[in-house]
Amino acid sequence: MPQTPLTYTAQESKPRRNPGVSAVQQIYNALRHRIIHFNLSPGANLAKGELAAEFGVSPTPVREALLRLSDEGLVDIFPQSRTTVSLIDVQHAREVHFLRLSVEVEVVRVLAETISAEQLAELDNWIRRQLTELEAGDETAFKIADNNFHEDMFRYAGVLGLTHLIDARRGHYDRIRGLFLHEHGRRETVVEEHLAIMAALKAADPIAAEAAVRVHLGKSLAIIDEIRELHPNYFE
């Protein structure tokens, strides 16, 4: 089956320097966002000179940002040759998925016994935001709201730091999940699954909460062969 082109409605604005954040961090954040959301496709060339001109910096912070992305496995650096966006590594994604699922199961079990009404209301807000972005057709904004829903659960369980450990490894996993969410119907399913998690938390039922998380996080990698067939050029 031929590769389906990806299109996104959310557009990244022209980079602006934030004096409170280092140039390396800003370039890293911007490039990582583009890679994760397929504004830069797997295999795309990254020209250091062009990036330096775009961000208004010398080549040094660009090089350091690319090294950070290389450590994360999101770019491949070929010395004295070129730097490209890495192809998606399925095994790496499976390992991160295993880690995330193991942790998030415990997170919702804790929350089923400890979450407050105010925290439930905040999670409800993220679901409403997802419904808004679903109606608007803004895929990138939908995924950001999705991530914030899960991040807040970690925060309310008192283990927000674990999200940083997972984030440092989840680039390949996030790209697969992004391909999974490219279909509108799957985004509708995500909202339904978030509502199931919320229902279990409101009922203070840790068993139902765990089951809902397992259903929610399992789909994108369960159909990896289908995703790879649709986008064969994106995978190792």
Residues 65 and 96 in one domain: no
Phi and psi at 72, nearest 5°, equal: -80, -10
Residues 70 and 159 in one domain: no
- Which has the higher per-residue pLDDT, 1 or 230? 230
Residues 94 and 206 in one domain: yes
User: pLDDT, tens digit, for every residue of 205-236?
Assistant: 999 999 999 999 988 788 888 899 999 999 99
- Taking a C-beta distance cutoff of 8 angstroms, is the pair 186, 141 a contact? no
Q: Give the structural domain span for 145.
A: 90-234
CA dist list (Å): 104 to 115, 191, 221 = 15, 17, 16
**Domain-ending residue, one of 85, 108, 135:** 85
- The CA distance from 48 to 157, in Å, is 41
Residues 81 and 118 in one domain: no
CA dist list (Å): 154 to 46, 121, 129, 150, 189 = 34, 15, 19, 7, 22
Residues 96 and 81 in one domain: no
pTM of the predicted protein model: 0.84
User: pLDDT, tens digit, for every residue of 79-89?
Assistant: 989 999 999 99
- Which has the higher per-residue pLDDT, 6 or 168? 168
- The CA distance from 189 to 181, in Å, is 9
CATH of the domain at 145: 1.20.120.530
